[in-house]
Amino acid sequence: MRYLLKLLFGLGLLVAAQVPAFAYVHIDIDLSSQSMRVRSDSGVTYVWPISSGRAGHATPRGVFHPRALYTMVHSAKYNNAPMPHSIFFYGQYAIHGTNAVGALGHTASHGCVRLSPGDAATLFGMVSREGAVISIGGSPPGEAVYAAHHRHGHRAYAHHRSPDSGPALAYAPTHHARTLSQWAKNPVAQ
């Protein structure tokens, strides 16, 4: 019996020694208030104004991880516009700096999340060192969203209305279980 306990204890130490510690930057973007809350596992917290996608150019909602980081990129789609300190999180969507700081706090982009150049540089450095989890939620000002949940079989529906698109019917987002690789990157995340 003692041998078995020693063996289990030894295996537990071996497994614990192989699990690296993960520190993440938590980036919470609220499209309703056009703001970003950034908090690091090291205790640093910031709240910054942003500009998200204007009417007809929605910013994707959901939970994302950085896919690529570039100190400087120029938009091939929008007149070679500079995108300093870009953190790409979904397709061609990125969090990046902008020179249009007067528009911060209001929707103004083609779907990216814009920050002041200094805030973008600070965030870029944090994410480069620690990694990140990016959560985007809320509804941009001017987009009235109301939930009229109906039960139809096993699907919940939500009605969305924006001034440009008229009424539409869409599935409510569903929660997906995390994959094993997501768990391995951050076992304590929910």
Identify the CATH number of the domain in which residue 99 sits. 2.40.440.10
Does this model's pTM top 0.75? My answer is no
Sorted by sequence, the CB contacts under 8 Å of residue 14 that are 6+ apart come out as none
Return the minimum-mean-pLDDT range out of 101-105, 154-158, 173-177.
154-158
Return the minimum-mean-pLDDT range out of 11-20, 25-34, 53-62, 160-169.
160-169
Sorted by sequence, the CB contacts under 8 Å of residue 21 that are 6+ apart come out as none
Same domain, 114 and 149: no
Which tokens is 29 given?
Answer: 């973007």
Indicate the pLDDT class of residue 59, thresholds 50, 70 and 90: very high
pLDDT (average), residues 136-159: 52
What pairing do the DSSP bridges indicate for beta strands 93-97 and 166-171? unpaired
Q: Residue 152's beta-bridge partner residues?
A: 155
Same domain, 138 and 150: no
Same domain, 133 and 148: no
Indicate the pLDDT class of residue 141, thresholds 50, 70 and 90: confident
pLDDT (average), residues 92-119: 96
What pairing do the DSSP bridges indicate for beta strands 113-115 and 93-97? parallel
Sorted by sequence, the CB contacts under 8 Å of residue 163 that are 6+ apart come out as 55, 142, 143, 144
Same domain, 87 and 107: yes
**Interior/surface letters 129-162, b for 16+ CB within 10 angstroms, e for the rest:** ebbbbbebebebeebeeeeeeeeeeeeeebebeb
Same domain, 46 and 100: yes
Same domain, 110 and 164: no
Return the minimum-mean-pLDDT range out of 68-72, 86-90, 132-136, 143-147.
143-147
Domains of the chain: total: 2
